A and B are shown apart, each in its own frame.
Chain A
Amino acid sequence: GAVVSQHPSWVICKSGTSVKIECRSLDFQATTMFWYRQFPKQSLMLMATSNEGSKATYEQGVEKDKFLINHASLTLSTLTVTSAHPEDSSFYICSARDRGGDGETQYFGPGTRLLVL
């Protein structure tokens, strides 16, 4: 149980294009999903918290107009990197809280590696 999937697993795009990453909770409902960014050999940096049916809450320093988050249902959240630039290249990981579980534990997706050329 508590499986989270991400799609795509990796993407290469040209500078200036937009990229959408999907995060799905496969066997549970997730009221809240989180988006993280991870640089090589560093820990996870929270970008934003996404609540179903409401606007995402962004961490300080994260541009909300650049990283668009939509949480349209209890099992799906999307992150769109708009007008991507090489500095946006990173490993993006989502996580989801299991609404029916203990409520605190987050389960992570496998990550999406983005390379912007």
Chain B
Amino acid sequence: EDQVTQSPEALRLQEGESSSLNCSYTVSGLRGLFWYRQDPGKGPEFLFTLYSAGEEKEKERLKATLTKKESFLHITAPKPEDSATYLCAVQSYTGGFKTIFGAGTRLFVKA
């Protein structure tokens, strides 16, 4: 059964304090791994899609990396506006386009 586990559950950072969020996954043939940002009361906002181990993608202060077992979302010099819940999700070839979501990491960045 496809599974996604995110850690930590919550993360509190000072502005400028870089850190990483972890997403561990088990799938029977990875079609894609996705990172989304979700603000309270809103739908998830797409950040990245990663397809194969070794792939990296960057957007502003965010960088996503992928291995065969996990993905990291690195946040460099975060700002208070980066505070949100970050969701990781996977699709497997056997699951069609069904996307399995992790529980998310709630990030709080204090000025």
Contact = CB atoms under 8 A, between A and B. Distances in A.
A110 interface: yes
Contact of A111 (B41, B91, B99, B102): B41
The bracket for how many chain A residues form the interface is 20 to 34
Contact of B32 (A44, A105, A108, A109): A105
B103 interface: yes
A111 B99 CA distance: 17
The bracket for how many chain B residues form the interface is 20 to 34
A113 B41 contact: yes
Interface of B: 31-32, 34, 36, 41-46, 49, 51, 87, 91, 96-99, 101-104
Interface of A: 2, 4, 6, 32, 34, 42-44, 46, 49, 91, 93, 95, 97, 102, 104-111, 113
Nearest to B9: A41
